[in-house]
Amino acid sequence: MERTLRKHRLADIEGLPNRGDAEASAGLTRPARTAPAKGRAGRIDSRLVCLLKPASAAAERFNRLRHAIEAMRPPDRALTVGVTSPSEADGKTLTAINLAGALARDERARVLLADLDLRSSGRGIGDYLDLNGAPPGITDWIGREDLRQHYPAARIDGFNLDYLHRGSGTDSIYELLRSPGLDELLEQARRSYQFIVVDTPHALLMSDVDLISRVVDGFLIVVRAGHTTRTSLENTLNLIAREKVLGLVFNGAPQPA
């Protein structure tokens, strides 16, 4: 197992506390829902360092991850990266947003951030960015043929980054994730973007990651120091096909003095 960890370890990032820890210590409240593509720096979660403090030491640690992802992209096509974790509160969503923000620092890059964590009842990408709002989103676009003529991505104001929000919800997530509409959604994205960062459910939750696997090039697996168990990580690595594991991201790993 130790050899596997060393082989797949892509980056160590500064500890991203879980929802409860962060809200208690920082006095954060759940952002009010607003229209998409209206992000304001004053309302964006302070842990999104690659958007708010790109020159900080915390943001610099994401540049190692950015470099690894940039090196993986073939020159003639997009790279679609799923971000998952073994369990809740490992920091995967914050990692996904910060990775997209780091990639978007290159003004020539075309970057899309998509929220496919459709079962989560907690904070999603839109909550951290203060971008939740009216459809269409992913579930709406896939579920309604009449919306297919307009791609639902929107630019996040002030950043070189586009965003696809979850949508208005659905009672049939399994059917939606296995539908050809999801393949079409990501195929259209590949024609317009160089990097597509997809926040996905926890790997050990339901069968969602299995279904999403066909539409991404691979997964980053986020593990949190002192939280993710060895057993849950082993189960995650056994669940995801070996060729689909892009690497591990260690959240909260001790940093050298």
The range of the structural domain enclosing residue 190 comes to 2-251
Domain assignment present for residue 257? The answer is no
* Crossing angle of the two packed helices 92-103 and 57-72, in degrees rounded to 10: 80
* pTM of the complete model: 0.85
Residue at 256 is within a domain: no
In the DSSP assignment, the letter for residue 146 is G
User: In this structure, is residue 171 part of a structural domain?
Assistant: yes
Please tell me the distance from the alpha carbon of residue 192 to that of residue 246, in angstroms, as a whole number.
22
- Tens-digit pLDDT string for the chain (257 aa): 555 555 566 666 655 544 433 322 222 222 223 333 444 445 889 999 999 999 999 999 999 999 999 999 999 999 999 999 998 889 999 999 999 999 999 999 999 999 999 987 677 898 899 886 656 899 999 988 878 888 899 999 899 999 999 888 777 899 999 999 999 999 999 999 999 999 999 998 778 999 999 999 999 999 998 899 999 999 999 999 999 999 999 998 666 55
Burial class (CB in 10 A: 0-12, 13-18, 19+), 180: exposed
How many domains does the chain divide into? 1
Q: Cα–Cα distance between 208 and 90 in angstroms, integer? A: 18
Domain-located, residue 71 = yes
Q: Give CA torsion, residues 158, 25, 90, 62, to 10 deg.
A: 40
Kindly write down the DSSP assignment for every residue of 102-132, as one continuous string.
Answer: HHTTSTT--EEEEE--TT--S--HHHHHT--
CATH of the domain at 144: 3.40.50.300
Backbone angles phi, psi at 78, to 5 degrees: -75, 160
